[in-house]
Structure 1
Amino acid sequence: MRLLRSNGDTPLAAASAGKPQSGPAGAAGASHPVPLSETDRLFEAIANYTYDWESWLGHDGQPLWINPAVERMTGYRVAECLAMQDYPLPLVHEEDRALIATVIDRGERGESGNDVAFRIRRKDGKLVWAAVSWQTLFDRAGHSLGFRTSVRDITERKLSEDALRDAHAEAERANRAKSRFLAAASHDLRQPLQAAHLFAAALRIGLHERGDLDLLGSIEDALKAANELLDALLDVSRLDAGVLAPKFREFAVADLLDQVETEFSEAAREKRLALRVLLSSATIHTDPTLLGRILRNLVSNALRYTERGKVLVGCRRAGDRLAIEVLDTGIGIAPDKIERIFEEFYQIGNPERDRTRGLGLGLAIVAGVAKLLDHPIEVRSEPGRGSVFRVLVPLAQSLAATAAPAPTRPILPASAAAGALLLAIDDDPDQLKAMNALFGRWGYQVLVADSAPAALAKLTETGRTPSAIIADYRLRDGLTGAGAIGYIREKLGQKVPGLILTGDTEPARLAEASASGFELLHKPIEPHRLQDAIERLLSNR
């Protein structure tokens, strides 16, 4: 009996191996009752000395031939394997025998398969990872002779895969730990900063001396810098939490560019840099707030890393998109560093970690927001010459879009503040003191409490209903600000307007707070933004 190769040659003759076999006689080693040609001997040598463990099994799954590589992989000699009951299952790890039994069953049915991983239990007890492939064998007339199996040692591959998987899991654990640490640290830092902001705003109302106002201005500048650092951490946490939901609309890009120029003109003048923003008549379709965050980070970065020359912001059409470009004459970026600049906390040319150059989060935020909006970011740069960052934004379908009116601060009657009662709930005493002082100076009547039950007790005592409730999100005893507002509403039987303040940056808490249905402000909050939010609440009663 000869095996048929695809080209019609017969590479291996079958021969008996000293064990009765059903079907064609088995062959193992050099027993050749059928005369072999030189070609047959060549193919037999190849089969016997191939590196992989090869077997020929009959229709009943019994081994007819096994090559010597089995001893290298399993520790068992060919004769021992041929004498085994249920070969090759005794060579297989107990937990994988059902899998290999299925492979044998499929081979007996004439099916083929590839690269099924399993474990070998060697004669010395050691485990080896292997992969088996199998296919049907035919004679020259096209009759099935059973099937062959080929087993390859994949231990090194499995070890590499396991190491890679472990490294990936460790990186994931480290990333989660980093996020938890940043969230906790950010929350704890925001609480005193928020109180400081409110105290400073209350103090400004009563100051008139130039020297005192200048000193207070320096304090406010320092608080603003701390704000910016924490806001960057917040943006990263919000991206991780998936709570940034784009609100796409059509608007004139000139409106956004004009805002950017206004915001950064003073910073450019302080560094003696020329900031030029070339307006465009194009209308685009995107989220103006999130695109604004991208452009502000890019312009801020350009000013930070440019000591001489200029920063230019301009637009050009690129097919059905508008390319908004931020060009600078700064330090530039080496080609091998361009990918890394979008990593969190990575900075170029700041080994001393000078905090005036930020945290190294700006471009990571740009990349995250751009991915969320599906706006590609392109970078061209040359060390010592400067950089160009390009964001591609879809053009509006219509030829023109009505520019959105600039947000205006609600105008309340002069008596509105005086007649409004604000209820502030926070378990931090400094926050309560600061809100009590500032809200009072803004002309509101104020009640403060450190919990929802305490707030209800004060309302019951005074017999009054608050005009609005301002509550911290994380309160003691597991209650949230949203829960506190709901509790007061239920007890009073009135839908009192509510505002949530939070210093949390933990993704799960941010998602939870965003889902509460109340307007959410992130600490530290600039006093004018807090005042605007309160006035919105009161104007919508």
Structure 2
Amino acid sequence: MTLPVSDLASDPLANDTPSAAGQLRLLEASFARLRLGMSAMPLTGLIFGVLMNAQDGPGVRMFWWGGAYVLALLLVWWGHQRYRQQRTHEPPEVMLRIWYGRVCWLALAHGLGMSLSVALSLDHAHYEYMLMLHVALLGILTANAAQMTAVLRVYQMFMAGAVSGLVVGPFAFPTIWPFLFPMTLIMSFVIYRSGVKAHGFLVRQVLLEERSRDLAERYRAASSAALEALAEKNHFLGAAAHDLRQPVHAMALLAEAIALHGQHVAGLAPLLQQWRQSMRSVNHMFNTLLDLSRIESGTMKARPTTVSIAQLLDEVGLQFGEDARARGLVLRLRPAPPEALLWTDPALVRQALFNLVHNALRYTPHGGVLVAARRRAGRWRIGVWDTGTGMAEQEQTRIFEAFYRGAGAHAAVPGGHGLGLAVVARCVALMDARQGVRSHPGRGSYFWLELPAATAKQATSVPSCTYQTPPPSPRLRGNCLVVDDEPQVLQAWSALLGSWGLHLRTATGLQQAWAQLDAGFVPDVILCDEHLGHGERGFAVLQALLERCPAARGAMVSGEFDTPSLQDALGEGYLVLHKPVDPETLHDMLSRWLDGNQNAT
């Protein structure tokens, strides 16, 4: 059953109807007000019965009238108990079908009961008594206009019964009836219209509450779906990054092997340099995409510590110096004083600054890039100036959005994806820092990061630079076992490590590795990929091999970053190399591990 809703054409909710549960709430509100109004009638009968007796009238009639209401209230109380019992197990639609008509008829009976009090007082009531009785009934009628109108039909039935008492008006006020009758009609109409307005307000309240609950449920469902989609996206990115890093890793190893074998071939060095440059760009794109995914998923948290700006700029030079030279650009780093210390997360600030420098190099066709820091109150601002293409003012407001690239960026570098600066913005948000840009088309750009300076207490210790490594030895001596399930990657390992002078054996899983050891091969170093075929986990394979070869050194090699196995390996002190492995870092690690073999030769 659908309750009738008043005409509210000017209201945007007018054409909507509450649900069955909402309509039942409205019916409950009218029913509650009806019970409250009836509960006042016995006291009203007592008061007016005493007043009529005081005027030598038959007050017993009003006593009987009030007593009848007591019996009616007992019946209503019993009905309300039944309602509450049914409400626990019956759906709203059934409750409406059963109780809508009952409440309406009860409202009519209550209205007629009020009118009956006038008829019972006609014979012996004085003028003052009748006037007081009409004023009291009119007040009750007005009060009911506030909440009984939750269901308009209930109030209409009540009004019909109550106003029916007008038919005895000529007998109650015989002299002034011609004036009192139109006045009573006008007041009844005004009260009814007020009830209609109140009804519209109550219906809108229920509609708004239902809409709010519906929107909240939709929001929770959308949030849950978004979180699931984000988790699926991160899982896909992790798997895709691993698969894509495999060939890039193989190409990086092959490029180094070709460089060693063909170092006397004329014209090969520039080609290999371009090859290395392409590998670095692809690797930077992978790292940027994964960083953005990890930041958005909430798995990356800021861990502030003391960071030296001087060491940070040194890392920029080591990371991008060769890249700048390959592009024909000048990378200038203005030295920072020793007291230039930040209190921030070293990984996040490094990622943000590296992305700014990488972005500046990409969009600078000629000239150079300058990186410098200066003090601003209690913070340090690290700026990156370039002489590149620049951008229009309207593009600067959106430049830090993910996947946004301005028209000039598309023309200068067609292959970009608009991720690097988005990662900068996410890193800055995690560090509670600030970033900004000023640029002019054709005159270059100025990007900056503003981070909190370390206090005197925080600046007690400064971590050393992580990129300063000794130059690699030209040749290595020792045995190396590599476990990887990709044939092209194993071929690249063989080409590079063989060119460094190592004796190499390869395996695609634990069984082939056992076979190599059973054949008498004794490895000094074991390198194991994380993802292997047939569901094997690289960390478990590495642990098994090192248990059999306790004198060997081992490291994990993976294209992923945050898998549980890698976290376990790091937690237990194992070295983890991420694909594509930097050949210089790899050579340095092997030279340290095989130092005894080097000295023996």
Query: What does residue 526 of structure 2 align with?
Result: 469
Distance 1:516 1:454, change over 3 A: farther
The change in CA–CA distance for 1:442 and 1:267 in structure 2 (over 3 A counts) is closer
Name the residue aligned to 2:449.
390
User: Sequence identity, in percent?
Assistant: 30
The one-letter code of the counterpart of 1:477 is H
Corresponding residue of 1:212: 268
Displacement of 1:175: 2.5
2:434 to 349, 356, 377: 377
Residue number in structure 1 paired with 2:251: 196
Give the superposition deviation at 1:528.
1.8
Residue 423 of structure 1: CA displacement?
Answer: 0.9
Which residue in 1 is equivalent to 2:497? Answer: 439
Q: How much has 1:474 moved relative to structure 2?
A: 0.6
| Aligned match of 2:538 | 481
Amino acid at match of 2:292: V
1:402-438 deviation digits (Å, cap 9, x = unpaired): 68367543589888x32x2111111111111211221
Secondary structure of residue in 2 paired with 1:210: coil
Out of 420-429 and 313-322, give the one that drifted further: 313-322
8 Å Cα contact 1:421/1:444 also seen in 2: yes
In the alignment, is residue 459 of structure 1 matched against residue 517 of structure 2?
Answer: yes
Query: Given the alignment, which residue of 526, 535, 558 partners 1:502?
Result: 558
**Structure with greater proportional helix content:** 2
Count matched residues: 439
**Contact 2:250–2:492 (CA<8 Å) still a contact in 1?**
yes
Of 579, 589, 592, which aligns to 1:533?
589
**Equivalent AA in structure 1 for residue 150 of structure 2:** A
Pair 1:70 & 2:126 matched: no
Matched, 1:165 2:220: yes
Tell me how far 1:388 sits from its aligned partner.
Answer: 3.9
Query: C-alpha separation between the residues in 2 aligned to 1:306 and 1:346?
Result: 19
User: Unmatched 5+ residue regions in structure 1?
Assistant: 1-10, 55-66, 81-129, 133-149
CA distance 1:536–1:289, shift in 2 (3 Å): farther
Partner SS for 1:379: strand
**Native 8 Å contact 2:558 2:577 kept in 1:** yes
Tell me the distance in 1 between the aligned counterparts of 2:463 and 2:560: 34
Alpha carbons of 1:500 and 1:215: their partners in 2 closer, same or farther (altered >3 Å)?
same
Instruction: Output the amino acid matched with 1:458.
Output: Q
1:437 & 1:540 partners in 2: Cα distance? 24
Please point out which of 14, 17, 20 is paired with 2:72: 20
* C-alpha distance in structure 2 between counterparts of 1:540 and 1:35, whole Å: 114
- Paired residue type of 1:504: E
- CA distances 1:244-274 after superposition (whole Å, capped 9, x unpaired): 5767553531222244256546666777877
Seen in structure 2, the aligned counterparts of structure 1 residues 196 and 319 have a Cα distance that, compared at 3 Å, is same
Q: Which amino acid aligns with 1:70?
A: V
Q: What is the CA–CA distance in structure 2 between the aligned matches of 1:446 and 1:428, rounded to whole Å?
A: 16
Change (3 A) 1:315 1:456: same
SS of 1:20's equivalent?
helix
The 2-side partners of 1:357 and 1:161 are apart by 41
Q: Which residue, 464, 474, 487 being the options, matches 1:404?
A: 464
- Structure 2 gaps, min length 5: 1-36, 43-67, 78-105, 118-131, 159-200
Deviation, structure 1 residue 446: 1.3
Deviation for aligned residue 1:455: 1.0
TM-score, length of structure 1 as denominator length: 0.67
- Superposed CA deviations along residues 277-323 of structure 1, whole A, max 9, x for unmatched, are 43332223344444222111122224445668875533333443323
Q: Tell me by how many angstroms 1:361 deviates.
A: 2.0
Specify whether residues 450 and 230 from structure 1 end up closer, same or farther in structure 2 by C-alpha distance, changes over 3 A only: same
- Check whether the contact 1:250–1:286 (CA below 8 A) recurs between aligned residues: yes
**Preserved contact between residue 187 and residue 504 of structure 1 (Cα < 8 Å):** yes
CA distance in 2, matches of 1:267, 1:466: 36
Q: Give SS of 1:203's match.
A: helix
* Residue 419 (structure 2) pairs with residue 361 (structure 1): yes
Number of the residue aligned with 1:174: 229
What residue is the counterpart of 1:187 in the other structure?
242
CA gap 1:375/1:226 in 2 versus in 1, 3 angstroms: same
In the TM superposition, residue 183 of structure 1 has moved relative to its aligned partner by 2.2
* Alpha-carbon separation, structure 2, partners of 1:389 and 1:259: 17
The letter of the residue matching 1:163 is R
Higher share in strand: 1
Report the residue type matching 1:219 in the other structure.
Answer: W
Aligned to 1:292: 350
CA RMSD, 1 decimal: 4.5
Query: Does structure 2 retain, via aligned residues, the 8 Å contact 1:410–1:536?
Result: no
The 8 Å contact of residues 249 and 286 in structure 1, kept in 2 or not, is answered as: yes
